Amino acid sequence: MQQLRVSVLVAALFLVVAVVSKTLASSVTETVPVWLGSGVTFSALLISPRWRWPAILAGVWLASAIWGMSAHGLGLAGAAAFAGIEVVSGAVGCWVAGLGRNDPDSPIGMALLLCGAALASCLGGAMAMALWQWQRPSLDVTLEGVAWVLSTMVGILLVTPVATAFRGFRLKRSGGMTMAQFLGGGAAFLLFLARWRWFSSITAPRVTATWPRPWLIFPCLSC
């Protein structure tokens, strides 16, 4: 019963942040500019014991499949593959990030976190190219793959530091951020800016997009 509750909770949270991601901005690609869903997957796995991973991944798969059908118009097979990409890439990347169970705020932990996030993003992007080649042959699959990589990376780097910082949260007097947390937030912000500028350049001639103001996000990273 506890595992079922975990699956339902993760699925619900995933769908909520998926809607938030969709409302952040529009683009000409199937992938939204900032995919917070991958951040939820990565964070939930990173802060949980391995025995809880199956329940988390089951919730992620279900929510991703629902999102694939509702937001992308995929059939059952396509939605199942779409969800599989989220599950496999997130699990592999988080396994790397959790090697040695280092403190994410330590230099080694931060390095592993970045490596895991990069691996999850690149693996997901490669599989996404195959998915869209199968499901949407008319799309520019290279563009879709790059969009997937960048949006996943930004989503992970935005959500994971917050999740790890609030793990085991207790009310106490604030002592400020550690340097590792600050640098991680700064890296996420810079990557978000690069992503925003890149999407602006490719969407300007073809679509009128409503973009978030990225410079308003950085102060939140230092809260």
Q: How far apart are CA 148 and CA 192, in angstroms?
A: 13
- pLDDT tens digits for 27-69? 556 677 789 999 999 999 998 999 999 999 999 999 999 999 9
Whole-prediction pTM: 0.76
What domains, with CATH codes, occur in the chain?
1-168 (1.10.1760.20)
Q: Give percent above pLDDT 70 in the chain.
A: 69
> Which class for 101: exposed (0-12), middle (13-18), buried (19 or more C-beta within 10 A)?
exposed
- pLDDT score recorded for residue 164: 79
CB 157 within 8 A of CB 191: yes
* pLDDT for 193 beyond 70: no
What does pLDDT average to over the chain?
80
* DSSP conformation letters of 173-210: ------HHHHHHHHHHHHHHHHHHHHHHHHHTTT----
Q: How far apart are CA 83 and CA 57, in angstroms?
A: 10
- pLDDT score recorded for residue 216: 37
Q: How far apart are CA 173 and CA 3, in angstroms?
A: 34
- pLDDT score recorded for residue 198: 59
Where do we find the tokens 């509702």? 70
Length of the chain: 223
State the pLDDT confidence band at 222, using cuts at 50, 70 and 90.
very low
State the pLDDT confidence band at 4, using cuts at 50, 70 and 90.
very high
State the pLDDT confidence band at 124, using cuts at 50, 70 and 90.
very high
Q: Which residue has the higher pLDDT, 119 or 99?
A: 119
> What letter would DSSP give residue 139?
S
Q: What is the mean pLDDT of residues 105-126?
A: 90
State the pLDDT confidence band at 201, using cuts at 50, 70 and 90.
low
Q: Give percent above pLDDT 90 in the chain.
A: 50
* pLDDT for 163 beyond 70: yes
